[in-house]
Structure 1
Amino acid sequence: MELYEGGCELKLLETLEGHSDRVWSLSWNPATGAAGVPLVFASCSGDKTVRIWEHTPSLSASWTCKAVLEDTHTRTVRSCSWSPSGKLLATGSFDATAAIWENIGGDYECVSTLEGHESEVKSVSWNAAGTLLATCARDKSVWIWEVQLGNDFECVCVLQGHTQDVKMVQWHPATDVLFSCSYDNTVKVWADEDGDDEWRGHSSTVWAISFNASGDKMVTCSDDLTLKIWETDNVQGQNVALVFTYTVGDILIVKGLEGFVSVDISDRSAVFTKQWVGTREVAFIAVFLDDFMWRHLCTLSGYHDRTIFSVHWSSEGIIASGAADDAIRVFVEDKEADGPSYKLLLKKEKAHDMDVNSVQWSPGEKRLLASASDDGMIKIWEMNSLSTGQQHLSLSLKCQITVGVFWSLNYYRLY
């Protein structure tokens, strides 16, 4: 491994108090932070409330709590997410419901309650157009809700595929493709087609997913103490399916959108068929996006020594992670390296007194990072270059990638 010099620091700007229990999740309002509009974000907690925070630099404490959303959820509020327009806020709770909030005349009101899950709702996520909302729960299901007139919501699909608690749902930033990660150690990909997709890469619970700005890369984090980065060649198509693959002798059977593709491993020939033969023993997993494969690009390991709960990719390509070791790590792509490579830019030990549950980059021009913890605190950090000339050392992980290659579950190359 090669050593690199990084001249950055994560400076603590402010610590926000107010929640009386652990803070689970944070969400920045995407319609704020530009053209003189103050930055706003939401936080949710085990105290059954949601708090709305606004940046007010004219005050001595530059962040103030503008609203407390309460008396709607009866148990822990686990997740919160602003719609792309910033007009609606969705929250998911251990009371098995999701709630939709709207700022009406300066007051936040619950305008809709979504019921249907049989147990704790763990995550909520809006698609890029703000027309669909996904929820997931401990009941192993993913629900998709369509926004109707008058802030009504209709469940248009219930997705059953995970075998354990579903931890997070996240829409792709460019297409209506939904990703979900679970206690069953998998990431599943869902689209409005006949096919379902599944990735296996982590060896333990997958906690979170985040995309880069262009949507051609994704990072996942897990209980196995690793971050995994995935890449695809094309994000413009609509025929997206996670594909299941099977082996029958020397024949690889791939289930896709158009039926099944039989691939002879010996000479790589392929024919389309509507029939499937062979035993249902899943041997290989591949993911295609209009005939382009999502590939495992790199694994970042050895940077956290306890479960990694949260990861977020900023609009300018900076990855932050938060974990049960109370620490925050920041990574960037090493563009000077030969081949795909990511390096540790900085590390913040004891960022909180307890588990770091959420890290989220702000949508504004400044490199602001918000973090939330089991210690009940929210911290606002700013990443900037060191002016003193002091430098940090970081490690560069180099990883090789070959286009058009099938990999086994253990990442052994097939051909």
Structure 2
Amino acid sequence: MKDALVLVQRFIAHPDSRCWFVAWNPGGTLLASCGGDKAVRIWGKEGDSWECKTVLQDGHQRTVRKVAWSPCGTYLASASFDGTTCIWKKKNNEFECLTVLEGHENEVKCVAWAPSGNLLATCSRDKSVWVWEVDEEDEYECVTVVNSHTQDVKHVEWHPTQELLASASYDNNICIYKEEDDDWECRATLEGHTSTVWSLSFEQDGKRLASCSDDRTVKIWKESEPEDGNTDKLWKCVCTLSGFHARAVYDISWCHLTGAMATACGDDAVRVFQEDEPSDPDQPVFSLAACAAKAHNQDVNCVNWHPKEAGILASCSDDGDIAIWRYQTDG
């Protein structure tokens, strides 16, 4: 490995609790984090360092598991173990809780915005995926509840350009959903992992999907043309990365600027993979390009590439810290 992950800054984000997730706003000027302390924190850059700008602590009664910015950057959604999702609206650098989405029977594990900003997806330990519609008056309505998984749903991820939704579950499977006659339906089930699928990340053009699992592997799924007159695209596993991670892989982030893929692992490491060139699209090969072996003192829960600045990566951990990295390539 000639490339390197260089630590830019490390800071305590959620004292005395886990930091579960970090999300950049679309412009990359703010970073939202959430944790076991029931709070969401908003970080902004002051000179060369990241400082806490705001703490949102009145929205949830239990752990906040995921946060997601709307494509316009005005709204922030937070998903909590208290069974609710809060929608925060940013106005003049202040955030107010606009509405609370209720309905899931227990812990909400993830929330994600569609690229249009008009749809929101949530998923829960109750095994369901909900799709919410947002109107111009900031009213949120649940338009579909899908029960395609048999276990806890860990993650939802929208396709970057289409209204296509993917979910990952404790049942080891990935589901792909599409709207049909005003109803969202599971149109494909991706089977291949042998344990919990923790997270998903689409490539920039959405033609490939990366998944990471408790089985210590990363899989790359490629969209292919339907067969036998079927209208739905098929998703086939074209690559499995195994032997790189010593424990569960909790998160994966596919950089839309460079194509590099980062993973967060239970062995305390952050790794970056690059696709070998030239690469057969039906049999791609990914190599380990860089590894920060002791990126954190405990499990790494999340990795997220900066949306505007190539090579900048944020990670967070059970140790409560956020780390900002610069991925430097050799050449």
**Does residue 167 of the first structure (1) align with residue 180 of the second (2)?**
no
Offset of residue 89 of structure 1: 0.4
1:114-193 aligned within 5 A: 114-193=101-180
Aligned to 2:208: 217
**Does residue 73 of the first structure (1) align with residue 17 of the second (2)?**
no
**Does residue 56 of the first structure (1) align with residue 59 of the second (2)?**
no
1:185 aligned partner, one-letter code: N
Aligned to 2:292: 348
Aligned to 1:99: 86
Structure 1 residues not aligned, in runs of 5+: 1-5, 34-38, 235-239, 241-260, 262-269, 273-287, 388-415
**Does residue 13 of the first structure (1) align with residue 13 of the second (2)?**
no
Structure 1 residues 319-375: Cα deviation after superposition (integer angstroms, max 9, x where no partner): 000111001111011013565211111111011000000000001223110000000
2:8 aligned partner, one-letter code: L
Output the TM-score relative to the length of structure 2: 0.93
Aligned partner (choices 310, 326, 329) of residue 382 of structure 1: 326
**Secondary structure at 1:191 match in 2:** strand
Aligned partner (choices 312, 321, 333) of residue 253 of structure 2: 312
Structure 1 residues 228-275: Cα deviation after superposition (integer angstroms, max 9, x where no partner): 0011247xxxxx9xxxxxxxxxxxxxxxxxxxx9xxxxxxxx6x8xxx
Structure 1 residues 162-205: Cα deviation after superposition (integer angstroms, max 9, x where no partner): 11000001111111111111000000111112653211110000
Offset of residue 97 of structure 1: 0.1
Aligned to 1:230: 221
Aligned to 1:47: 37
Aligned partner (choices 25, 29, 40) of residue 25 of structure 2: 29
Aligned partner (choices 359, 366, 371) of residue 310 of structure 2: 366
**Secondary structure at 2:247 match in 1:** coil
1:375-414 aligned within 5 A: 375-385=319-329
- Rounded to whole Å, the distance in 2 between the matches of 1:100 and 1:310 is 23
Structure 1 residues 273-322: Cα deviation after superposition (integer angstroms, max 9, x where no partner): xxxxxxxxxxxxxxx7x464322110000111111000000012100001
Structure 2 residues not aligned, in runs of 5+: none
- Rounded to whole Å, the distance in 2 between the matches of 1:219 and 1:51 is 28
Offset of residue 7 of structure 1: 2.6
1:276-295 aligned within 5 A: 290=231, 292-295=233-236
What is the root-mean-square deviation of aligned Cα atoms in Å? 1.8
- Rounded to whole Å, the distance in 1 between the matches of 2:213 and 2:330 is 31
- Rounded to whole Å, the distance in 1 between the matches of 2:20 and 2:312 is 19
- Rounded to whole Å, the distance in 2 between the matches of 1:386 and 1:317 is 15
Offset of residue 40 of structure 1: 1.0
- Rounded to whole Å, the distance in 1 between the matches of 2:126 and 2:234 is 30
1:22 aligned partner, one-letter code: R
**Contact kept? 2:224, 2:236, Cα under 8 Å:** no
Offset of residue 386 of structure 1: 5.4
Mark the CA change 1:366 to 1:189 in structure 2 (over 3 Å): closer, same or farther. Answer: closer
Output the TM-score relative to the length of structure 1: 0.75
**Secondary structure at 2:22 match in 1:** strand
- Rounded to whole Å, the distance in 2 between the matches of 1:122 and 1:342 is 29
Aligned to 1:277: none
Structure 1 residues 112-146: Cα deviation after superposition (integer angstroms, max 9, x where no partner): 10000000000000001000000000000111110
- Rounded to whole Å, the distance in 2 between the matches of 1:106 and 1:206 is 36
- Rounded to whole Å, the distance in 2 between the matches of 1:349 and 1:69 is 32
Aligned partner (choices 68, 85, 95) of residue 72 of structure 2: 85
Runs of 4+ in 1 over 4 A off after TM superposition: none
**Secondary structure at 2:137 match in 1:** helix
- Rounded to whole Å, the distance in 2 between the matches of 1:376 and 1:105 is 28
Percent identity of paired positions between Structure 1 and Structure 2 = 47
- Rounded to whole Å, the distance in 1 between the matches of 2:329 and 2:276 is 17
1:219-298 aligned within 5 A: 219-233=210-224, 290=231, 292-298=233-239
The total of aligned residue pairs comes to 323
